[in-house]
A and B are shown apart, each in its own frame.
Chain A
């Protein structure tokens, strides 16, 4: 039916004065948006196939290509946007749930952008990181309740298992399967090089990456794919994934077409079978069940590894976190509603969950009010876009942040948000051999290390400006923050003052 025709959102503009018909664009586009007409010896494009990933643009030797937003429009309507109309056409045709990738792109407030940082003037000197030590090392884990001494009076080391990081950033969970082996290798090597940790996500750990174990967080999610004793013991920490910011309240689905070769082996499921992670863990229907899983995992690893419990930021996040802090978990990871994903139902991604800034502020406050903040460290993600976001998150009360999307962008992701198609032209969110090899791990991991180093420099500069030389003195230091353009309620929840106050 013609009613199903949706005019492309983006148009490929080719400058024919420059095009040399080299056909690079054609070879590079897994979506087959570029076609060579041999009769006319001319390149043409099919805009409807373009996802705006910039692969062709970046590789065109003649700089003959650009992608522009289509000017095509429906009759203007403040209520019915073109997006809403098109989505209805799609659903009327397919009868299916709309799928999307990466984080919530909708127009909700980004609180990080309405928070400003402090700097020292006169009464207290700013510190120059080039001249003075500037420490960004972070420990994550629970704190001992009591100081114990031996018979000579020396303090006994009764520190529960913990993680040590060179800076308060970790690479968040992205499974092998949702992203390529090469992408995973980049994450693992970058974490090892930078002295931080990456996270396997729910896809198990490929044999080839066990050697990065001390920089690895192994995840246990509701599908329990790839979980076995050696896996649990191979990492530096274990994460129980209860939820994800991009899709709170639902599980995951990796289609059988992607369950091939090593992925099937690593996930420990037959080739071609769908990997469906249920919405809940079917052994966790309540907080006391979570406690049992936490201690099962600790038993399995002889109490040598900290256990992280990851939840999505939802309305009742403070109370949930408070329960987790009493469940034996060492670290709570909270994922905000902007958090990325390889695929999520669009309606869930765009309408469920709350901003991480508000979730973090209320969790940190609740844990302090209840006197249990020392039971756990707090890690937040979804979405941290720059070193400034890192600093703001720490000052609001986080111990550390998770970055996912930012790490992928460093590897070449152009945020075209088409991961669910499996045809990532940048070799990241794909299992196609020819596409995957476009991501060279030797180059990719270095780019990621560069990003981390750059952020570390910026973090030090901003800390120094505030007169803080050790990152722990920034943790929860909300006086270093001021809001701009926020209302009384926002400020109350964030527990910060307005600029000028």
Chain B
């Protein structure tokens, strides 16, 4: 059975490295970091997101697409040509390794919406892109867009994450931010699309946990036009973040107060203004509250956000050294790439850690 046909519960490892100064560094480090947590994955899914890796194409949406076969590719490219100006297209460079098998066709396109199509749609550019991605993923059989942001890319596969990193030759990319994920699904996904990170536009999410609010979240987000085709927690979390951030205009801090809302008892102890704000957010966005264990790292253009569930039922550690910030499921995954740390700490449940580039960087 393919991912999306059933609900696949997973445990996981995750890691993230971010340079606040915007200094670009090699993808090698994130592979080193995630490989330490080998035991937290079971070889059924690994992946990376990388930001700042396509500076020469930074104004174009970079679509990474899996194709089951040439027929799917042909259909999808026809669709892309009808809706986008394709500036560049190529196979994503890979390196054959015995650990990674059954690969689909993996292609990359740098695109920008056709002005006439965009004007006709009466949508803003990002919404237009999202709609097109959904169209491909739900109606072009055998084609799946797994990365669609600008100046960033997602690379994922079925396998252990360190093997996936080598397969995609991640060490040859340079970016200011990388996140990584090793998956421990309870069922065989058998399909690469189900691996993490999950992305939409420049948002990418890696996630460790199993949320018990899944169907409440899914049914509410689908009402706003999203389509949950993978039936994974990560997918729905990504859509919630996109919805709250891009469509409803909430700040990342406010998003944390929605998805990992403070308890009523905590809210009641706050000063009046703050109390009203928390109450408002919980009340208006009750269906976007996420319940059950999770730790997530959200990547976006110019920053990352790390967040734990309200009871802190999953591990999450932050380390800082000079302008570098490290986030991981385990401290060991940080120490292996940066032994000396200025600061290392575990955020509390529901406490969002938001790190962005220093002013003027990118």
Contacts and interface: CB of A to CB of B under 8 A. Distances in A.
10 closest Cβ pairs, A-B complex: A473-B213, A467-B212, A479-B215, A473-B291, A472-B286, A477-B216, A124-B210, A477-B215, A123-B9, A368-B223
Nearest to B249: A147
A477 B277 contact: no
A492 to B, nearest CB: 16
A468 B213 contact: yes
Given A473-B291, A477-B213, 4 more contacts: A154-B277, A470-B291, A473-B290, A476-B216
Contacts, number: 103
Given A125-B293, A157-B276, A477 B214 contact: yes
Interface in A210-247: none
A120 B214 CA distance: 13
Interface string B261-301: 10111000000010011001111101101111100000000
B293 A476 contact: no
Contacts of A374: 223
Interface string B302-322: 000000001101000000000
Contact of A135 (B222, B264, B273): B264
Interface stretch (A136-144, A297-305, A314-322, A441-449): A136-144
A258 interface: no
A472 B210 contact: no
A133 interface: yes
Contacts of B10: 123
A100 B28 CA distance: 78
21 contacts: A139-B286, A143-B283, A147-B250, A155-B254, A155-B281, A159-B283, A368-B222, A369-B223, A371-B224, A373-B220, A374-B223, A467-B293, A468-B212, A468-B292, A469-B291, A472-B286, A473-B291, A474-B216, A476-B219, A477-B214, A477-B219
Interface size band for A: 35 or more
A478 interface: yes
Interface of A: 120, 123-125, 127, 132-133, 135, 137, 139, 143-144, 147, 154-155, 157, 159, 162, 368-369, 371, 373-374, 466-470, 472-480
Contact of B215 (A123, A144, A478): A478
Nearest to A162: B283
B248 interface: yes
A137 B265 CA distance: 11
Given A125-B293, A470-B289, A144 B214 contact: no
A124 to B, nearest CB: 4
Nearest to A495: B219
B358 interface: no
A288 to B, nearest CB: 26
A479 B281 CA distance: 25
Contacts of A467: 212, 291-293
Contacts of B281: 155
A476 B287 contact: yes
Nearest to B220: A476
B104 interface: no
A77 B99 CA distance: 73
A14 to B, nearest CB: 55
Given A124-B292, A135-B263, A468-B212, A371 B286 contact: no
B216 A472 contact: yes
Given A147-B248, A368-B223, A123 B210 contact: yes
A374 B220 CA distance: 9
A117 B216 CA distance: 15
